[in-house]
């Protein structure tokens, strides 16, 4: 079998890349090792920048998002019991974000394959890359006990942090930059009305908390916990009580509690691998970078990656040169590092670190106080939150 681009990974990045290429007349095959039900059931982030919403509109996969998504013009910051609002809409010339779960984005992108189902393969096992430094790369995989090999021009690695693509690059050909944070997020998803119409990021003496939502009837909350915490030590009642404490009495008075439909603890990491190209292999999304969830940049960075990559691939077939492909890593990394900086800064501003000295706490308080009183500082924060432009 032959195609132009093999895309390894059927998450939002790989699915979107395939759709963008298809619209530009470039053939692709998406290989996903998990089942469709598993991929569609993964609970992930839910704040979409304009780059992501625009891409969904461009491929005609936006109908449910436009109907069910929640447009947010601002968000709130809290220091202990006091809240103040960042007016994203007013400070960025009318820009907003869309609250719409990554689970729903993934379903919409999969549904958009209905007119070309053969371009998406689920349960593709033992995916192996061949000849990625030569002129004739290929990808082999097993499906239902049968081994297949797909010849191609290029391979897009959209298979996440633990995928096969980045691990296929030899150590000497790239460099990793990493920071692991000494805490995690304990999250609860419940079918209850949100406590506030916008997100609330809270810096409390007991640790960080986030009040978020997925819909008018489904809420997503997080609290900062130590990495050695166990889920079984956090029954629903304890978690709701902790959220009420960390979000403050005014917000707590609007919290509606209910049984968890999902609860988990996730670690926080900053990670970048560069360059994002090795021969005919191009990395995108979590295969190349991870950000802490503070600020919701992970999915949006993956979408900006594939927007740049799709344009570069289309240019290759249009003019016969690799000029834009040669620029892909540099262009993508320019936005990635700025988002890494914002996510690191926002995490450092809102969380209590185990070794935090009294001086460090005073700096957090001073920074939040400065943000509250400075329109210039709020503008910087709003510009980063809604998403920085892709550099030409």
| Length reported for the chain | 392
As a whole number, mean pLDDT of residues 154-183 equals 97
Query: Using CB atoms within 10 A of its CB, is residue 354 exposed (0-12), middle (13-18) or buried (19+)?
Result: exposed
Confidence at residue 301, expressed as pLDDT on a 0 to 100 scale: 97
Confidence at residue 44, expressed as pLDDT on a 0 to 100 scale: 77
> CA-CA distances (angstroms) from residue 337 to 13, 109, 241, 325, 379?
18, 27, 37, 19, 19
Confidence of residue 225 (pLDDT cuts 50, 70, 90): very high
Class of domain 181-268+355-386: alpha beta
Q: What is the pLDDT of residues 249-268, one digit of tens each?
A: 999 999 999 999 999 999 99
d(Cα 226, Cα 186) in Å, to the nearest integer?
9
Residue partners of 143: CB distance under 8 A and separation at least 6 = 121, 123, 124, 125
Q: What is the pLDDT of residues 272-324, one digit of tens each?
A: 999 999 999 999 999 999 999 998 999 999 999 999 999 999 999 999 999 99
d(Cα 315, Cα 321) in Å, to the nearest integer?
8
d(Cα 70, Cα 100) in Å, to the nearest integer?
7
Confidence of residue 46 (pLDDT cuts 50, 70, 90): confident
Give the helix ranges, DSSP H, for the chain.
12-23, 36-41, 50-58, 63-68, 88-91, 102-111, 164-167, 236-247, 249-252, 298-319, 323-350, 358-373, 375-386
Confidence of residue 342 (pLDDT cuts 50, 70, 90): very high
* Domain 5-72+98-178+269-350 CATH (choose: 1.20.1260.10, 3.50.50.60, 3.30.360.10, 3.40.47.10): 3.50.50.60
Q: What is the pLDDT of residues 231-243, one digit of tens each?
A: 999 999 999 999 9
Q: What is the pLDDT of residues 17-38, one digit of tens each?
A: 999 999 999 999 999 999 999 9
Q: What is the pLDDT of residues 362-378, one digit of tens each?
A: 999 999 999 999 999 99
- Active-site residues, by number, are 72, 201, 293, 297, 385
Confidence of residue 141 (pLDDT cuts 50, 70, 90): very high
Strand-strand pairing, 200-204 and 75-79:
parallel
Confidence at residue 41, expressed as pLDDT on a 0 to 100 scale: 85
Tell which residue, 188, 189, 183, 191, has the closest CA to residue 225: 183
Q: What is the pLDDT of residues 92-138, one digit of tens each?
A: 999 999 999 999 999 999 999 999 999 999 999 999 999 999 999 99
d(Cα 32, Cα 123) in Å, to the nearest integer?
6
Tokens representing 335 are 């936005």
Mean pLDDT, the chain, as a whole number?
96
Does the pLDDT at position 247 exceed 80?
A: yes
What are the structural domain ranges in the chain? 5-72+98-178+269-350, 181-268+355-386
Does the pLDDT at position 43 exceed 80?
A: no
DSSP state of 234: -
H or E element, residue 260: strand 260-274
């Amino acid at each position: 079998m032959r195609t132009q681009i093999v895309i390894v990974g059927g998450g939002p990045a790989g699915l979107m890349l395939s759709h963008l290429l298809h619209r530009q007349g470039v053939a692709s095959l998406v290989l996903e090792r998990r089942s469709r039900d598993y991929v569609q059931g993964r609970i992930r982030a839910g704040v979409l920048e304009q780059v992501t919403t625009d891409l969904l509109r461009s491929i005609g996969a936006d109908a449910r998002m436009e109907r069910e998504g929640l447009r947010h013009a601002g968000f709130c910051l809290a220091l202990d019991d006091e809240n103040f609002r960042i007016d994203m809409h007013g400070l960025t010339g009318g820009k907003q974000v869309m609250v719409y779960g990554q689970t729903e984005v993934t379903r919409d992108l999969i549904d958009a394959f209905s007119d070309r189902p053969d371009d998406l393969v689920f349960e593709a096992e033992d995916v192996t890359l061949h000849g990625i430094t030569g002129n004739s790369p290929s990808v082999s995989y097993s499906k239902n006990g049968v081994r297949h090999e797909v010849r191609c021009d290029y391979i897009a690695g959209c298979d996440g942090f633990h995928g096969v693509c980045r691990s296929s690059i030899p150590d000497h050909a790239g460099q990793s930059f990493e920071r692991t944070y000494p805490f995690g997020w304990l999250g609860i998803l419940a079918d209850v009305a949100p406590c506030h119409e916008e997100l609330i990021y809270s810096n409390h003496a007991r640790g960080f908390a986030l009040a978020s939502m997925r819909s008018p009837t489904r809420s997503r909350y997080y609290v900062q916990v130590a990495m050695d915490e166990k889920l079984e030590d956090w029954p629903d009642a304890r978690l709701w009580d902790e959220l009420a404490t960390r979000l403050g009495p005014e917000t707590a008075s609007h919290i509606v509690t209910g049984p968890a439909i999902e609860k988990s603890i996730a670690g926080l990491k900053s990670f970048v691998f560069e360059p994002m190209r090795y021969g005919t292999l191009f990395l995108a999304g979590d295969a190349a970078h991870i950000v802490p969830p503070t600020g919701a940049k992970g999915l949006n960075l993956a979408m900006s990656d594939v927007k740049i990559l799709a344009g570069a691939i289309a240019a290759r077939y249009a003019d016969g040169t690799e000029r834009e492909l040669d620029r892909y890593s540099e262009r993508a990394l320019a936005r990635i590092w700025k988002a890494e900086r914002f996510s690191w800064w926002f995490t450092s501003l809102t969380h209590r670190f185990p070794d935090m000295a009294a001086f460090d706490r005073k700096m957090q308080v001073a920074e939040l106080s400065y943000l509250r009183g400075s329109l210039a500082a709020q503008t910087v924060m709003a510009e980063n939150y809604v998403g920085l432009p892709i550099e030409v």
